[in-house]
Structure 1
C-alpha cells in the first residue's frame, strides 16, 4: 500500500510472507503465527470478536456462532484455543459480532450476532440466547456498540438501526442509505455509516459514501472513496478508518478530516485489489484485508504499511485479544477448492511462535497455492477465446484464465470455465459490481471408483418433470468443495447447479463425519467435538441426540451408513417463459369458472404484470440464499394457486416447488401457509384419477416443502399424510412418479429425524409424530417393494424407512406386524452385494432390530 495524506505522499515496501516476516522490522515487533484454532471450521469464517484474553467468538457460513476457550495449562496444547460451545440459532450465514457491556439483562456482559436471516441475536457470555432483535428487511452485516450501551446494526436493506439491548426495542432507524451498510459508533456518540452505493439504469455505480449521523440526522457526508465502502474501524483519539472497493484504506480524524490514504499495490494485471475489511488494535495498528488474500498491517502513527501477511483466502475479520500484549486473531476460508474455514492466532512474542508442523501446514495452505499461481502466470495477461470444448471432462472453456478480464459476463452470478497455463481448469463467477470474474475454484479431476467411505443417491429435478439419479461418492477426509466439483464434472451437471449441489454436499459431508465420530465413541457413550477432527461439535451433538432419541446404543448405529439425517435438496433449472405462458392460460381458465369462489383465485392484471420481476429473481439460483422476491407476485401465487382446480394447477405447483428452495420465498411467503398448501397438494397427489402432470408436480411440491426448516417445521404432523399420499404412486407406470414418491417418503422421515436431533425429544412423547412415523415407515416399505421400480428409487425409500424405524418404536412395531423383516431379507437376497441398494436394505434391517 502507498500512503498519502495532507497533500504529501509516501510509500512503503513490504513483502507478503507466510508467518509475517519483514527484514526491515526488528524481531519482536512483527506478528508471527502462534497457532490455529481446532477443530478447523467446516465453512468459511466471516467474523470474530474477543470477550477476554481466554475467550474468542466466531461466526460464519455454517450458520453457527462458536465460542472458543483457551486450553488449560496442563494440556498438551496449553495456550491454544479449542471450540467450547456452539450457538446454532441462526437460520443463515452469521456476518457480524459485537461485544456487549454489562447491563440489566446481561450482568456479566455478552455479545450480539447479526445474520443474513435479518435477525440479531443477543447472547450471554456463556452462549445462552437472551433475545432476538428483529426489524431489518435485509441481512445484517455490521454491528457496533454506542457509549451508552445501545447496539447499532447495519443491513443490506440500506438502513442502520439503534437498539435497546435490555428491552429489545428499536430506538431509531437511520434510513435512506444505499444497499449494504457498515456501521461504527464513536466515543462522542456519533454513528458513522458506510454504504456500497447503487447501480444506475446505464450500469454506473454511484452514491457510495460515508455518512456521519448525529442525534438521528446526517451531520456530515464524506465522499472521498471512489467505490463501494465496505468496512469501518475505530482509532485511538476518536478517529476512524474505512475500507472500500477502490482498493484504499482511508484514515479520518475525530473532526472527520481525511488524514491519510493507503492504497493496495497494483497487480500484474493492472488491477487494484478491493479492500474488504479493516480492523484496529488498541495501539493504532490497522489490519486491512484485501481481495488478494493479503492482510496488510498499517501503523497509522508512522503512516506506513509495516507488514504483509498472506492468508489462504480473503481474510474477513481480525480482532485484538485483550491482556495479551497485542495478540490478534484473523479469520478466513481455505483456498477456493474448499469450504473449510480458518481461525489463526498471531503474536508479537517470539517465545509463543507456533511449532514447525503448524507453520508448515500454514505455508502449505497459504503460501504454496500463491506461489504456484505466480509460476503458472496466474497474474499475467493473455488473450481470450470464445467458448470451446476441450477442458476436463469436455467442459466448455470460455477462454484463457490469464485473459479472462477481456471476456465480459452476461449476468450477475454467471459461471464459466477458464483454462490455466498448467492445463488445469478454473471455475469463475461474474460479478456485475466488480465488473470482473471471481474465482470459485479449480475443477478437480475424476477420482477412481472406490472404495468410498460414503455413497449417497442424489436425484435432480430436471426441466419438464424429468429426474436424473446419480451416486454421490466421497471419502471422509476429502474437502466438501472438491467433492462438489468432482460430482459436477463426473455427471455432466450444468454449472448453474453449483450453489445448490455445494450446499447439499456440505450437509451430507457434515452428517457422515458426525456418524463416523459417533461410531468411534465407546459403546453406550456419546461423541464429542474432540472425537473426530473432521466433525464439527454441532454435528457430533446432533448424532448423539439421534441415538438417544432412538433409544439405541452406539453399536447399533455403526452399520447405518445411509440413513438420512438431513433432507436432500431437489433442484433444477426452469424455463420461466413456458411457466409464465402456462400460468396465464390456466389463470384465464380459472377466471372462466362457473364457480364464483374459484373465479376469485384468478390472477389480476397487476399480479400478471408482476410475474416478470419474480421470474428474473428466481432465474438466478446462485443468489437464492440472499435475494429478495417482489411481494405482489409471490404473495398472489402462494395465496391463490394452491386452490386452482386439479386440471389447471400443474404449472403453478411447479413454480411453488421452485419457491420452496428460495430462502426468502420459503420463509416469508410459503412457511406461514405451508399447512394449507401441503393439504391441497396431498389431495392432488393421492388422487389416482388426476392427470400425470398434476400428480407429479404435487408430489414434487411436497418433497420441496420439507427441504427448508421454515416450512418443514410447520409440516411435522403432516409428514405421515405426505408419505401416504406419495405412496399411492408406488406402482404407477410412470418412473417419474415412483422416483418422486421415494423422495417424498425419504424427506418425510428425514424431517422427523431432524426434529429429534434439534430438540432431543423422543417421538414416544408425541402421539401425533409417532403416528406420522408409522405412516412414513409403512409408506416407505410400500414404495420400496415393487421389483420393477429402479433400484435408486427403492434405495431412497429404504433410506427413509431406516430413518423412521430409527426414531420411532411405534414404527418398528408396525413394520414388524407387516413382516417387514422377511420382506427386507428377500430384497437383500436379490440385491447386488456392496451396492448402495444393499446398504440401505442392511440399514433398514438393522434399524428394525433395535
Structure 2
C-alpha cells in the first residue's frame, strides 16, 4: 500500500497548525493567518477539494480546529476554533457568517488544542496549564493539575479524558479528577490519538511515538522521527500516522514504519485521516495536502511528479543530517543498492560535487531524493520554554560557573516588556533593563524606533510585523553568533560599562566575565536628538491583499443589492496594475515596475474607498498604505496627496461619533489609516502648510483614550515623521502651535504604552531642537505645559530611554 499525492489545497497564507477530517468530503484547517477554512470535495469519490468557507476566527493566530457533529439547528455541524485570543469560537457550517455563532470564554492564554466527542462535548487545552470540558456550550469541568501548558487533549468517553502537557506527562481524568498519570516521554507531549482495542498513542518533542493501555502500561514505542513529533492520527485499519519537524509524515503498520512522505516544508504541524484512509497534512508552507493509497484518487501524474521535484529541490541544513565530510561520500552508484529499512538516509556526492540526501522508501522499493545539504539553516522551529512556544530562548550568562538564565522572546514582543519579565523572574536589578533590551535587539535583528516593537498583526496572515528604523539606540553588540532561527546557541555580548545605579559585586548579565565592584562610575548618556530618519510602515503582504480585495469584490458582485458597488472594469485593471507594480517594488531585491503608477490609479483607489461598505474597506486602505509608501511620486500633482488623504479619513469614518469600544472594522480601518499617514511623511516629503494644518486639527479631534495600543503607536509615528521633516523644513507658526498642542496632550495622557510615549517625546524633542537652532521661542504658557507633561512621564514609565529623552527634551526649553 503506497500513498501518493491526491490533492493540494492552497488558500492559507501562513502555517497550517491544525486539521480535522470528519468525513470523506470535508476537511477543516486552521492557520496562523487568522483563519480557518472548510474544504469540500467537489465530486463524489474524486480527488479535488474546493475552498467552501473561510472562517474569520479572530485577529490573531488560530492554532486549533475541531468538528462538532450536526444538531437540528446546524445540519452540517460546526467548526470549532481556538487560538491566541483565548476564545473558542463555533461556526455553523451550513450558514457560515463573519461572526461566530457561539463563543466559549474561560481560558486566559492561547488555546492550542481541541477535541470533540460524537455527542458534542468539547475539550480544550491551553497555555494557561488547564484543560476545560464544555457541555451544551457551558463549562462542565476544569482540569487542573498540569505544571505547564496543555498541548494535547482527547475524549475517551463522555466523562473520561486524556491530556498531554509540556510537563512531559499524560493524565487520565474521570470528570475533573486525575485517575492516572503516564510518565515516560522525555519532552513535551504534543499529540494524542485513540487506538482501537489497545488504548491510545502519544507523540512528543522527544521524537518518540508511544502506544499505551489506559491502565498505564507502555505497549511499544515507535522511533524514526529525527525531531519534534507534533501530531498523530489513526488509520481505519489500525495503523498510525505521525508528523513532525523533520519534514515528514510517517505511516506505521505493525510497529514498523511502512512509508515516509517527505514534504517541501520544515514543519508538518498537523496530520489527520479521512474515513476512507486518505491522509491529510498541514505544513509551515501554508498548504494542506491529501495523500491516498487508492490509485483512483491519485493526482495526475504531472502533479505528483511536480510535488516530488519540489521535495527533491529542498535545501537541507547540515545540522539536520549530521556532520558531512564530502570527500568520504560515495557517488550516485551507491543508490543502486537497496536500503535496509524504510527511512534509512543515504548521502551521496553527485557529479556536480553537490551533497544530496536520499531516503529509502520500502513501499516503492526506491531511493527518494529529499534535498541538497547546505551549511546554513533556512528556517527554524519554535522553542519551548516552560511549556510555551517562543521564537527564541536565549542563554544569558550571569556568572562563571553558574548555569545560564533563560530569556524567552517572541518577535512580536515589546523588548522592554520581555526584559522586565526576565529581570523580575530572576531577581536582577532594574538597572540592567537597557542592557537586556539591547541584547534582545541585536540578537534578533528587530530594532524599532525607540527600541520597542509594536505587536502588529497582519490583517491577512497574523504572522508578520512591521519593523521600523532605529532611533537613539546605543548599540551593545553580540560577539558570538547564535542561530537566528533556533535560538539553540548562546549570544555573548561585549562587556558594557556598569550602569550608574548598579549595586556592587554584581555580574555582567551577559558575559559573566567580570564583576562590578567598588563605586560605580556614572555612564554618560548619549544624545538622541535630533532624529531625522522617518519610520515607515512598508511591510507588504501583496498576494494576500490582492486576494482579499478580489474576494470582497466578487462577494459584492454576486448580490443584486450590492452589485453596483463592485469594481468597474477599468478599476479592476488599475488595481491589478498596482499590485503588479507593488510585487516588483517589494521583491528582494526590488525591481523597477514594468508599468508606472500614476494619478489615474490613485483616483480609482479613492473611488473604490468611497463606494465600498466600511467593513470591506480595510484591504483597500492597506493598499493605500503601500501606495503612499512606495509610489508617493504618483501624488505629486497639485492637491492630489491632500485629496487622497481626505478620502482615507472619510473611508475610516474618522469624523463619526467616537465611542468605546470601536466596532472592529472601524478599529482596523483607523489603524491602517494612521499607518498610511506615517508613510505620507517619509524622507523627502514636503510639509505643505495648508493641508498639514488641516491634518493636525483632524488628528487632534480623536479622543486619545479610545485608541488601542497599535493605533497609538501609529499615531505617534505620524507625529514623529512630521518632526523629522520639520528639522529641515520648519512648520509655520500656526501649524507648529497645533502640532505642539497635540504632542503635549499625548505626553500628558499616555500612561499605558511606553513605545507611543517614547515616539511622541522624540517628536517633541525634535521640534524643540529645530526651534532652538532657528532661534524661535515658545510662549510662556505653552512652554510651561510642555515642561509639566515631560517632567511627569518618567514616573509612569521607569525606563532609561524615557528618562534620557525627557531630560534631553527639557534641556531644550
TM-score, normalised to structure 2's length?
0.47
Higher helix share: 1
